[in-house]
Amino acid sequence: DGGITQSPKYLFRKEGQNVTLSCEQNLNHDAMYWYRQDPGQGLRLIYYSQIVNDFQKGDIAEGYSVSREKKESFPLTVTSAQKNPTAFYLCASSITGSRAGELFFGEGSRLTVL
Amino acid sequence: GQNIDQPTEMTATEGAIVQINCTYQTSGFNGLFWYQQHAGEAPTFLSYNVLDGLEEKGRFSSFLSRSKGYSYLLLKELQMKDSASYLCAATTMFSGGYNKLIFGAGTRLAVHP
């Protein structure tokens, strides 16, 4: 079955540590995205990538980094520079073009900073 | 600026009909999406409107008025499993001509017996 796999589902981090969240898709989608969700707020875009070896900052990219070396993979690193990293992180993919807003989401990764 | 507004919470009775409203202000609008998100889970796609009017899909319908910057999601014959958050999202354009979604904060719907 095609889909998006995120790991780990739950992650605890000490302050000052970098962590990397994995996102893999086998939907053959060109576009991939990382969103952050906080209670009572809408999903906010961290980074996006429309093609391999290219990615762009979203609305809240500070303290995060990504890579897109393969079409299937779009890992997100939460660095120690991110001041409030505790959140629910969602990876998504889509086709490009007019229906690019039809996002397919992974199950999410919940990061807690201790 | 870019803004999506929808009510924070709604309650309804099993078997009833509920309408969740959404107003939006975005530049380069291309279409309006609705997603369903159960607690602790990822959002799933419900509907997409690009033209004015009503799109019906089973028990769910979605309406769009581009001139008014307004959409609603209509849920009929409510079931307990419909208790979830409903996210309204409007498209705008990235630089380079790609679509980008702006999400509202979501409407948390509670269905009671």
Average pLDDT in chain A: 91
Q: Which residue of A has its CA nearest to B3?
A: A42
| Numbered residues of chain B with Cβ closer than 8 Å to any chain A Cβ | 4, 8, 30-31, 33, 35, 41-45, 48, 50, 87, 89, 91, 94-96, 98-106
User: Considering only CA atoms, which of A61, A105, A103 is closest in space to residue B89?
Assistant: A103
Q: Per this entry, what is the length of chain A?
A: 114
Report, as an integer, the average pLDDT of B44-62. 94
φ/ψ of B81, rounded to 5, equals -70, -10
pLDDT (0 to 100) of residue B29? 84
Please identify among residues 65-84 of chain A the ones whose CB lies closer than 8 Å to any CB of chain B: none
Poorest-pLDDT segment among A79-83, B49-53, B79-83: A79-83
Of B41, B48, B104, the CB nearest to A42: B104
Q: Which pLDDT score is estimated for A42? A: 85
Q: Is A39 on the interface with B (CB under 8 A)?
A: no
Q: What CA–CA distance (Å, rounded) separates A90 from A58?
A: 14
Tell me how close the Cα of A56 comes to any Cα of chain B, in angstroms. Answer: 10
The burial class, CB within 10 Å (0-12 / 13-18 / 19+), for A14 is exposed
pLDDT at B59 over 60: yes
Round to whole Å and give the CA distance between A13 and B29.
39
Which residues of chain A make contact with B31, given a CB cutoff of 8 A?
98, 101
**Mean of per-residue pLDDT scores for chain B:** 92
Contact A98 B98 (CB under 8 A): no
Q: Best mutation site among A105, A109, A110, A112 for testing chain B: the one with the most B CBs within 10 Å?
A: A105
pLDDT tens per residue across span A26-79: 999 999 999 999 988 889 999 999 889 999 999 899 999 999 999 999 999 999
Q: Using 50, 70 and 90 to split pLDDT, how confident is the model at A96? A: confident
Task: Report the DSSP beta bridge partners of residue A25.
Answer: A4
Q: Please check the confidence at residue A98 and state whether its pLDDT lies above 60.
A: no
Chain B: residue nearest A101 by CA? B101
CB contact under 8 A, B45 and A103: yes
Q: Do B42 and A105 touch (CB under 8 A)?
A: yes
- Give the tens place of pLDDT for each residue, B4-44: 999 999 999 999 999 999 999 988 788 999 999 999 899 99
- Candidates B22, B42, B40, B41; CA nearest to B32 is B22
